[in-house]
Structure 1
Amino acid sequence: MKIAVTYENGNVFQHFGHTEQFKLYEAEGKQITGSQVVSTNGQGHGALAGFLQAQGVQVLICGGIGGGARQALAQAGIAVYAGAAGSTDAAVEQLLQGALPQNGDVTCNHHHEEGEGHDCGSHGASHSCGGHCHG
């Protein structure tokens, strides 16, 4: 299995569409058999699904991701595990052990009653939205 993780300094990068690097992992069973960091060469949002497909990726682990990117990845046959944070190596180990949640909710789940003007991308660093509303 080939797994891609949005990558920055050893950790899961939190915005799929702006990631400059992916760490690609090869895995057999529950073991990582190899890994390498690859540059996206400045490709953004729309081109990243094709980039990952060309790399043979079957699973993506990322922080935040928007609905359009998620659709493009689904069309490319790539499973998405969003909302991840911390070490990329640890996230892949969790995936291989079946302990990484596959968060299908790409929108905020904490809308307030007033709701108008709410923009998921406008949360400050102190606002917690579960890591799945930044896309």
Structure 2
Amino acid sequence: MKIAVTYQDGDIFQHFGHTEFFKIYDIENTDIVKTEIVSTNGSGHGALAQFLHEHSVDTLICGGIGGGAQLALSQAGIKLYGGVTGKADDAVNDLLNNKLDYDPAVKCAHHEQEHGGAGHTCGAHGCGKHH
């Protein structure tokens, strides 16, 4: 199994579509046998699922993630654990021990929280209209 985590300074980066790095964990049985930090090289929302697929990732742990990215991951056969915060290493260990606290109905949460219901200013990154 290969688990990828959106990654920044040891923590789970909270916006999948803007992540610059993934930490990828190679798992055998329930042990981490190898880790590496890989750059997304500026890949955006649409390309990130393919990027993970090309790295043979089958599981993703992340914070916020939009519906389009969720669909792309699903189509690539990648299992999603979203809405997770904290240290990347802790989250992987929790997942391996069936203790990971995640949100099965995760959304691109920053829309409502930061900008309210009147609209948001995510710009052109594809998760909504610029108001």
**TM class by shorter-chain length?**
0.7 to 0.9
Unaligned runs of 5+ residues in structure 1 are 109-118, 125-134
How far did residue 71 of structure 1 move?
Answer: 0.5
Equivalent residue number for residue 106 of structure 1? 106
How far did residue 122 of structure 1 move?
Answer: 4.1
Equivalent residue number for residue 74 of structure 2? 74
How far did residue 103 of structure 1 move?
Answer: 2.5
Matched, 1:56 2:56: yes
Equivalent residue number for residue 122 of structure 2? none
Task: Indicate how the Cα distance of structure 1 residues 85 and 102 shifts in structure 2: closer, same or farther if over 3 A, else same.
Answer: closer
Please identify runs of 4+ aligned residues in structure 1 that moved more than 3 A: none
TM-score (norm 2): 0.82
Q: Which amino acid aligns with 1:123?
A: Q
How far did residue 101 of structure 1 move?
Answer: 3.8
Q: Which amino acid aligns with 2:61?
A: I
TM-score (norm 1): 0.80
Measured in 1, the distance between the counterparts of 2:49 and 2:107 equals: 20
Q: Which amino acid aligns with 2:40?
A: T
Measured in 2, the distance between the counterparts of 1:39 and 1:8 equals: 11
Measured in 1, the distance between the counterparts of 2:88 and 2:110 equals: 24
Q: May I ask how many residue pairs the two structures share in their alignment?
A: 115
Residue pair 2:2, 2:26 contacting (<8 A) in 1 also? yes
Equivalent residue number for residue 35 of structure 2? 35
Task: Indicate how the Cα distance of structure 1 residues 49 and 23 shifts in structure 2: closer, same or farther if over 3 A, else same.
Answer: same
Residue pair 1:4, 1:24 contacting (<8 A) in 2 also? yes
Secondary structure of residue in 1 paired with 2:24 = strand
Secondary structure of residue in 2 paired with 1:51 = helix
Unaligned runs of 5+ residues in structure 2 are 115-126
Residue pair 1:5, 1:24 contacting (<8 A) in 2 also? yes
Residue pair 1:29, 1:96 contacting (<8 A) in 2 also? no
Measured in 1, the distance between the counterparts of 2:46 and 2:71 equals: 10
Matches for 1:78-93 after TM superposition, within 5 Å: 78-93=78-93
How far did residue 29 of structure 1 move?
Answer: 1.5
